[in-house]
Each structure stands twice: as C-alpha cells, then as structure tokens.
Amino acid sequence: MISRLFLLALLPALCSCSIPGPPRMAVGSCVDLADCESIYPQGHWQFVHLIEFQLPNGTGGTVIGITVIEGNAVQCALTTTEGMTLFEAEDGDTLKILQAVPPFDKPGFAEGLMADVRAIFLQPPGAPVCGALADERRTCRFRQQDGKLTDILPEPDARKCFRIITWSADHRQTRIITAKDCRQQDGYRQARSLTLNSSGIKNYTLKMSLINAEQLSPPRE
C-alpha cells in the first residue's frame, strides 16, 4: 500500500510534453455561459470521493479524498481507506500544508494536488470568450492573466455532464477532466463520476467516484 501511495505523491511533479495547442474557436455570444457556470458548485461545500489513480505502467492505488471549498479557498485531505490521514492542506491566499507524511511531503506535491482540485471545483477568474469549436461543440474559454487557458464544454443535456480542458501558457494541454452521471441540484451539475487525465510523457489518471456531497452553506447574496 505504501509503495503505491509513493507513486501518487510523485504525480504532480511529472512533466508535460509538446502537443498541439488549443483548438480554434468561432467566437459567438455567451448564451451558454449559464451552462458553463453550472458545472461549478457555489457556496460552501464538502465533497468526499473514492480516488483511484493509475500510471502508464499499470501501477496504481486507492485513497479517499476530502475537499472543502468556500469562495476561492480550498481545503483538501487524503486518507487511506482505513482512515489514516496522509496529507492535509488549505489554500486561500497562501498554501498551508497542515500534515504530510512521507512521501506526501515531496516538493511540488501540494501545489500539483491543489491545482487539480481547483481545476475541478473552482471557476476560473474573469469573463470567458464563448463560441464553438470546429466540431460545433459549445465552449466557454477562460484566459488567465498568466496566459493559461481553461476550456469548458458543457453537454446540451445536463445529465451528460461536461468536460474541462486546461492549457499551459505555452499552449500545452495539461489535463482533461471528464464528468459523467450528473444530476442537477439548485442549478449545479453535480457529477457522480470524474476522470482526470494529466497530459505528458508520464501522464497519470485519477478516477473519482462521489461518496458524499454536502452543501454547508448557500452562496452569499
């Protein structure tokens, strides 16, 4: 078990390779913005997921992920299936590592983990450019100040969920997040299944199955 968990601690440090950049988008009106925004929870939430990870060589393992979000602040913990805490951190204005047992204290692990969590649960800042790709898929594209891009592709049927694709500032794809088995809850497309594929020479896959989702407080008016 520990040897498998060691592999998870190395995941965020894996580098990306050069692949084609973001696809061209025919810019249109943002009539689909509400659908794009609906993939992100609003207010104060706690999520518990069973997380299965896998590396290209077939090795992998399973942990429990506990995520709490409120505004731009994120708290995250990883435990074994038996309940032992392996990692815990909070990230608001600054990243604070509260607990990290070896090998989860490796440089870059906390930053990489929080980046994945934010990509899944927090809407990128700023206003998007909306339109359609060459295959006519509706897209909301957020461009951050550092040049990174986030493409959100909501399905017309909310139950079919959505995809999120992120790009580095030098136009390399960094991750694809695919959501399945969604249900609507107060305008929020809550996915029961999430798969995160990290792009790169030594890419990794995280499969997240929702155990519990609890809204701790609604959004502030």
- pLDDT of 15 over the 60 cut: no
Give pLDDT, residue 159: 65
Give pLDDT, residue 2: 44
Q: Which pLDDT band holds residue 56 (cuts at 50, 70, 90)?
A: low
Give pLDDT, residue 145: 85
Q: Which domains, from first to last, does the chain contain?
A: 2-213 (2.50.20)
For the chain, list the strands marked E by DSSP.
Answer: 25-28, 44-54, 60-70, 73-79, 85-91, 95-100, 129-133, 138-143, 149-154, 162-167, 173-185, 188-198, 205-217
Dist. CA 169–CA 106, nearest whole Å: 25
Dist. CA 131–CA 125, nearest whole Å: 18
Lowest mean pLDDT among 63-67, 171-175, 217-221: 217-221
Go through the chain and tell me how many residues it has: 221
Bigger pLDDT: 192 vs 93:
192
pLDDT tens per residue, range 167-203: 999 889 999 999 999 998 778 899 999 999 988 656 7
CA nearest to 179, candidates 165, 166, 161, 197: 161
- pLDDT of 4 over the 50 cut: no
The C-alpha torsion from 176 through 22 and 28 to 35, rounded to 10°, is 10
pLDDT tens per residue, range 96-137: 999 999 878 888 889 988 999 999 999 998 888 888 776 667
Give pLDDT, residue 138: 83
